[in-house]
Structure 1
Amino acid sequence: MGIWDTGPFDNDSAADFAGDLDDAKPEEREALIRGVLTRTIDATGWLAEGQEVVAAAALIAAQCPGGAPIDTPYGPEEPMPAFPDDLRTLADTALARIISDQARAASNWVDPEDWKQWRANLNRLRAVLAPPSPSIPLFDAEK
């Protein structure tokens, strides 16, 4: 596992995941992303695919309002399908799992001096992915 920087594709595992997405048929890309998210949410112990989750979450967030485009030579070159809304929730839940695991595997994914920046990047992704709260009127103004 190589540590490069704090971006979602700035490590060996995430760059390899981007290559896997490029190698997959277009109709298989959503399943690859859903798989890493689900396995991380369901994992016990070591989070083996955490770096891939961050990359997947960034791809999903890029399609959301307020999301940043993926602009790195290490990300996928092929276009991603339009992701269904339920992937937003899965990605947010998986990122929460990674953030809560800081004392274990996640703390080894970036250099210690970059930890705060990396965590801030994850929190920005979560802010974009978090589904908007439904607006519920407190009272009927017309009465």
Structure 2
Amino acid sequence: MGTWGMGHFDSDTAADFAGGLDDAPPGRRGEMIREALAFAARTGPEEYLDADDGVVAVAAAALLAAQRPGGTPVDSVYAPDEALPPLLTPDLCELAVRALERVVAKESELLDLWADVGEGEQWSAGVRELRASLTGSQGAQ
């Protein structure tokens, strides 16, 4: 796993996803984000979610969350350079939340990899923060 940090684009896989978005026709970018989220969200809780699929889902969710009012901008040299279409729809936010819940579930290779290096809880907290941004529940107890 070519990962150099906990940022949502701090891995080869996330950077490749961003590059793919940049290379895609503008009308296809939103669909690519939806597909990344849908793949992770539809993986059943008893199925093992591959780390690469989890990384892409987290990156896609970060791009969506950045479009929320007051959302944290994706500020990474590895994030997409090209503009994304407006993506902020209730159904896509709900899909992103389901994908993020799946990424931090028990049968997630990405969670296992972070736990193996003693950073599972810190990484999971970042994913939960991203989820809170999508649900508008930041700061809620």
TM > 0.5 between the two? yes
The answer on 1:64 being equivalent to 2:68 is yes
Q: CA deviation at 1:111?
A: 6.1
2:77 aligns with 73
The answer on 1:118 being equivalent to 2:123 is yes
Distance in 2 between the 1:69 and 1:104 partners?
26
Q: CA deviation at 1:67?
A: 1.4
- SS of the residue corresponding to residue 128 of structure 1 reads helix
- SS of the residue corresponding to residue 70 of structure 1 reads coil
Distance in 1 between the 2:115 and 2:60 partners?
17
What code does the residue aligned with 2:118 have? Answer: E
Aligned length: 131
Distance in 2 between the 1:15 and 1:27 partners?
20
- SS of the residue corresponding to residue 49 of structure 2 reads coil
In the alignment, structure 1 segments of 5+ residues that lack a partner are 133-143
How do 1:102-141 residues align onto structure 2 when only pairs under 5 Å count? 104-106=108-110, 107-108=112-113, 112-130=117-135
In the alignment, structure 2 segments of 5+ residues that lack a partner are none
Distance in 2 between the 1:110 and 1:21 partners?
29
What code does the residue aligned with 1:20 have? Answer: G
Distance in 1 between the 2:60 and 2:115 partners?
17
Residues 27-80 of structure 1: per-residue CA shift (max 9 Å, x gap): 100110110111111124232310000000000000012310011101101111
CA contact (8 A) 1:4 1:110 kept: no
Distance in 2 between the 1:76 and 1:116 partners?
27
2:16 aligns with 16
Q: CA deviation at 1:131?
A: 5.5
The partner residue of 1:47 within 43, 46, 49 is 49
TM-score, normalised with respect to structure 1: 0.83
Greater Rg by CA: 1
1:139 aligns with none
Q: Which runs of 4+ in 1 moved over 3 A?
A: none
TM-score, normalised with respect to structure 2: 0.84
